[in-house]
A and B are shown apart, each in its own frame.
Chain A
């Protein structure tokens, strides 16, 4: 059970949050221009890596804001939390 530092509310228990899958996958601006394969890449393909993964989280039972998290999936260490639209930390 993580302790998650919501960028808007502060530290809260994981049960207030909802995980929303991989972060930084932008919805294509012109979907009609894409081939089936390109669209499928956006729609279905997600990473599942051992190590630092960038994820979307939502403070569903709190401020309802979406934000990003860099989490090491091998030990569940939360490396960074940053707002939507911000670039992922490089380190």
Chain B
């Protein structure tokens, strides 16, 4: 395959390094240094995709990250394919494969293309209007939409690449390495500021580096040659770090910026291996210099979207930088002088320029003479009224503009061409500036939004600051840098500058056609297929806010965020609404500036590292004994221990029986433990728990319920008085951190006068919970010296003991209703103590059990689990736990809320027990409860919160919350399921051993 449009050799392209790549299945060749876009254009391929809504053929428009059309699927046949990559940014490498998007079945024959002819049916707000009604049609629409629209396809395998994050702190961050950025970074670094210079491209120098306009001179040299020397000097400057292929995605408050550094995307497969693909730089800079440049604007005219229609500046870059001609017969269409530079670049390389169409009446710029000398025809005061060619531009029709610019006159002239460069002026790239929270101001004269003010921490230089011409760029840069960095002199102060000046301006946001607007397609947002007609329709339908118009027409809502057409959208709205653009404001540019991959965002936090997880000291034993684990907060807790080929159900039934018949053992190390000390510790507990604490004797334990200030149950657990001014509080596993935070909050902000100190000791102790009628015998084997009699060591009391010289705390407390001891050992001895219990318990068939059995056993006893039986809307009264709420205490957290009219209502949801009519049916947790089956709509009375098959009772049991449930004892209710209605009876929440006799068995 020849690259028949490669017209000049370029210093930026390595012609000795030929590279083959595939696009839409066909093999092409390019050179090292090409982007996919430049290589395709060199092969005369312009048609690279279809538009989103109308499926119109679309070509490459730009040469940078603002590209709206040429978004492609990379590695389309791989399960790690990547969608929405911009062909203008992909550097080609041997073996690269890419394909068009939005085409079904192919870019050359696309079924959705019919939408183009159905366009009258797809006006602004089409999706909102159509798919709302009738509802049943949605399925039909959906099939069509899913097949024909969408931006590319997502990968369906795990991303195999490595991503990384790096924190950077620097004195000065310079974003953009065009001429302004390079001079700024160089001078900052030379003045001992630790400086970081970033650019999204792979080479430094911005657009100046390929400038061929002989009228632009620095120190009597061509601007590009001068800049190359400056770039060369950067190598020797200390304090300066330069990163190319690095795009700043977000600019947050206080100079915190996120940038994506692309490290391997341009490498061949074997060189990518084992390397970090992309790195997210998290930068906190003392000062930020924005030198992000400007984006060229298109012109908005009828059918301005055909393949072959490109930005004039892009044509110049392809010709000067890549040595590629975008067409063999070129036309330029402009409202300013810059298109003449592009035209001259082509002409000087022997590429035919048919004509320049200029909407202005004339221009005095020096370059006009050169165009005249070259014999290129200029049509002043003319506009394009239509274009031709379906898959490639074949010609344009032009007419004379009326004086006011709203209509066309005279006869139509037709010119054939296969490439059209459009030049609508320049928009400062203020996206990052506005993300930082800084405000813009509108320059009515030049029709641009520019930064309102520089600050001590941030300046905008070069064209992103509104300076477009070389002399004003350099002069203002010098002035701003000296102030910003507080330096006396820059190294470029006083250099000789020569350049052209813009002499005349004319701006028309929407160019007229000889056809009525209804018959034209002047695209404002190429990627989302929004036309000026759509914007007009939105205004006619009453939309006024720019943010509303944007959403209704989808203008600026694509992956390119409408970088090209946003200004025109604003301009058209302002014209129609009759307001000034400055008053209209602009839309918000949101991060990221260019899309990021998920991989970059999550960095190393994938797989095992996605979240921290915590394991108990007995974890190895659990693994060796084939435990299945469940996640509880960050903890990995033993869930159950299946034997041989037991199912979960079988294992849990066996474990539950064993714990009540003989002995069970549970790893309870994950319970939150807070050490509380200080002379006001008792008073503090009085204030945070609902029950009374002052009279708890040393060595005794008490269950406590903690509320939020709104009266709702927040956490629960047993707290033990170790000494006069020393308690150890246990919390739920998931609530530990929050409880500590809440207690600290009250201590620091509400009760700073209390002498109380809190320390989290969750990780310091391992807890083995022995349970069952034989637990006393087992403990006796371990600590023969300890008197375990009910008199010496009763239920709800504590002993400090030595087990093999290890100091342990033993609490006789129970969450199962059985005789039970919790042994707390220093964490590092946890496994040894656990092992000792297992050994001692062997003769009693001690059975390790996990969280599932624990849940089942406590449900048999009607003990709640905060977060399962409660959901932040349950008071202790709702839970039928009135007994734990002190009537005597003057105050505690949440007390007042228990007397609010709402919390005192009789028909609140209350915790009850449920028994199924058929004892073998186990209800589903979350199932709804009703009292009537034939009523429609039926009132949902509540739902099932806990449900199990109890092996000890040999029937199904459940806890539920039901409106007014307290007064429904014995009543028959229903749990309607998909295929059946289950009859249930309201019962006591305590299903097993109601008299608590087993605690002392």
Binding site for B on A (CB under 8 A): 1-3, 13, 18, 20, 26-28, 30-32, 34, 36, 39-40, 43, 56, 58, 60, 64-66, 75-76, 84-85
Contact = CB atoms under 8 A, between A and B. Distances in A.
A43 B752 contact: no
Contacts of A75: 437
A82 to B, nearest CB: 13
Given A27-B709, A28-B896, 7 more contacts: A13-B256, A30-B891, A32-B895, A43-B897, A66-B748, A75-B437, A76-B253
Given A1-B253, A3-B254, A31-B891, A76 B745 contact: no
A30 B749 CA distance: 17
A27 B284 contact: no
Contacts of A34: 896
Nearest to A75: B437
B745 A66 contact: yes
Contacts of B895: 31-32
A64 B744 contact: yes
Nearest to B890: A32
Contacts of A85: 752
A43 B900 CA distance: 11
A39 B900 contact: yes
B215 to A, nearest CB: 43
B839 interface: no
A40 B900 contact: yes
Contact of B901 (A2, A36, A84): A36
A60 B252 contact: no
Contacts of B744: 64, 66
B741 interface: yes
Contact of B750 (A18, A27, A32, A36): A27
A3 B897 contact: no
| Interface-centre pick from A20, A39, A65 (highest chain B CB count, 10 A) | A39
B705 to A, nearest CB: 18
A65 B749 CA distance: 10
B230 interface: no
16 contacts: A1-B252, A2-B253, A2-B254, A3-B256, A18-B741, A27-B750, A31-B895, A31-B896, A32-B891, A32-B899, A36-B900, A39-B900, A40-B900, A75-B437, A76-B253, A84-B752
A21 B900 CA distance: 23
Contacts of B256: 1, 3, 13
A1 B258 CA distance: 10
Contacts of B745: 20, 58, 66
Interface in B877-910: 890-891, 895-897, 899-901
Contacts of B900: 36, 39-40
Contacts of B897: 39, 43
B896 A32 contact: yes
Contacts of A84: 748-749, 752
Contacts of B890: 32
A75 B254 CA distance: 11
Given A76-B253, A85-B752, A43 B741 contact: no
B710 A43 contact: yes
Contact of B741 (A39, A56, A60): A60
A-B pairs, top 5 by smallest CB distance, nearest first, are: A31-B896, A1-B256, A3-B254, A1-B252, A66-B748
Contact of A43 (B709, B750, B901): B709
A66 B751 CA distance: 13
A83 B932 CA distance: 58
Nearest to B893: A27
Interface of B: 252-256, 284, 437, 709-710, 741, 744-745, 748-750, 752, 890-891, 895-897, 899-901
Nearest to A38: B896
A84 B744 CA distance: 13
Which of A36, A65, A85 has most chain B Cβ within 10 Å?
A36
Contacts of A26: 750
Contact of A76 (B284, B437, B741, B750): B437
B643 to A, nearest CB: 43
B748 A65 contact: yes
A72 to B, nearest CB: 11
Contacts of A40: 900
Contacts of A32: 890-891, 895-896, 899
Nearest to B255: A3
A2 to B, nearest CB: 6
B745, B890, B896, B897 interface centre (most CB from chain A within 10 Å): B896
A49 to B, nearest CB: 18
B781 to A, nearest CB: 43
A3 B284 contact: yes
Contacts of A3: 254-256, 284
Nearest to B892: A31
A39 B896 contact: yes
Nearest to A76: B253
Contacts of B254: 1-3
A33 to B, nearest CB: 9
Contacts of B284: 3, 13
Contacts of A18: 741
A13 B252 CA distance: 12
A3 B285 CA distance: 11
Nearest to B744: A64
B169 to A, nearest CB: 10
A40 B897 CA distance: 9
B988 to A, nearest CB: 33
A85 B749 CA distance: 8
A58 B895 CA distance: 26
A84 B900 CA distance: 30
Contacts of B896: 28, 31-32, 34, 39
Given A1-B252, A2-B253, A56 B749 contact: yes
Q: Which of B254, B741, B891 has the most CB of A within 10 A?
A: B254
Contacts of A76: 253, 437
A28 B893 CA distance: 11
Nearest to B896: A31
Contacts of A27: 709, 750
Nearest to B708: A43
Contacts of B741: 18, 58, 60
A36 B902 CA distance: 10
A85 B747 CA distance: 12
B382 to A, nearest CB: 47
A30 B256 CA distance: 45
A62 B791 CA distance: 47
A75 B284 CA distance: 18
Nearest to B250: A1
Contacts of A43: 709-710, 897
A13 to B, nearest CB: 7
A58 B896 CA distance: 26
Contacts of B752: 84-85
Nearest to A66: B748
A65 B752 CA distance: 12
A32 B894 CA distance: 11
B675 to A, nearest CB: 15
A76 to B, nearest CB: 5
B255 to A, nearest CB: 8
Contacts of A31: 891, 895-896
Nearest to A64: B744
Nearest to A28: B896
A39 B748 CA distance: 22
Contacts of A1: 252-254, 256
A37 B47 CA distance: 68
A1 B748 CA distance: 26
Nearest to A39: B896
A60 B745 CA distance: 11
Contacts of A66: 744-745, 748-749
Contacts of A64: 744
Contacts of B255: 3
Nearest to B710: A43
